[in-house]
Amino acid sequence: MRDTYTLLGCRGCGSTIVAAALELTGFPWGYEEVDYEVDSPERDRLLELNPLGQVPTLILPNGEVMTESAAIILLLHDRAPHAELVPHSGSAVLPRFLRWLLFINAEIYPTFTYGDNPEKWLPKTRNPERLEESIGPYRQQLWLQFSAAASDVGPWFLGKTFSALDLYVAVMCNWRPGRRWFQQHCPQLIAIAGRVEQLAQLNALFHAHFDHVAPLE
């Protein structure tokens, strides 16, 4: 039996959320970079573990495979409550956490599943990119709804309570519609992202995954 977690992911992808969570747990973990869109031995290994060919894919110390970032976050919280990935049982903000965790994964994430590769879903369409043209404004509406639910007092999405929602924000503010849009329309989320990026435990990780993040001095 291994004594470490092994994360298959790619730079700047959703796997960065799980990488950040692993850092906060303090558990030993390893990382394997995979370009899941290009045929390679690494992609073949990913497909053996996760037939969807998606990251994050996490190999647990006992060899069991976990996929789906929300499921991984909940598992890591169960094993490492000290990481504060999820509000504690009985917390007044736990229902809000669960609602918006599933909102991100069930509503916002699918817009990338279909919008990233529209030709996959519309193979016989002359202009498949129009799918993303339709999805883009809907994605923005979802982010505006999510942002409106953020605490007015901060510093985190749930107010004084840090959670994995802040990790999602820090990573996903780098995706479409882009940081400039978030700065203009969702300044609370950009502020949360900046605070996460500057956490001593996570700064090096975010610096490695996103070019704009400056290392701590």
Give the bridge partners for 7, in sequence order: 31, 58
% the chain with pLDDT above 90: 86
Mean pLDDT of the chain: 95
Q: Which fold has domain 5-83?
A: Glutaredoxin (3.40.30)
What confidence tens digit (pLDDT) does each residue in 173-203 have?
Answer: 999 999 999 999 999 999 999 999 999 999 9
Angle, helix 94-103 to helix 130-148, in steps of 10 degrees: 170
Q: Region 49-63: what's the mean pLDDT?
A: 97
Mean pLDDT of 79-106: 98
What is the fold, at CATH topology level, of the domain defined by 94-209? Glutathione S-transferase Yfyf (Class Pi); Chain A, domain 2 (1.20.1050)
pLDDT at 1: 47
Average pLDDT for residues 98-105, to the nearest whole number? 98
Please compute the mean of the pLDDT values over residues 96-115 and round it to a whole number.
95
Token pair, residue 98, equals: 């669960």
Instruction: Please measure the distance between the N-terminal and C-terminal CA atoms of the chain and give it in whole angstroms.
Output: 39
Could you tell me the pTM of the whole model?
0.96
The pairs formed by 77-80 with CB atoms below 8 angstroms and a separation of 24 or more are 77/164, 79/25, 79/27, 80/24, 80/25, 80/26, 80/27
Q: What is the pLDDT of residue 128?
A: 73
What are the domain boundaries of the chain? 5-83, 94-209
User: Would the pLDDT of 135 be above 70?
Assistant: yes
Q: Are 76 and 25 in contact (CB under 8 A)?
A: yes
Q: What is the pLDDT of residue 2?
A: 67
Cα–Cα distance, 204 to 211 (Å, whole number): 11
Helix (H, G, I), strand (E, B) or coil at 72: helix
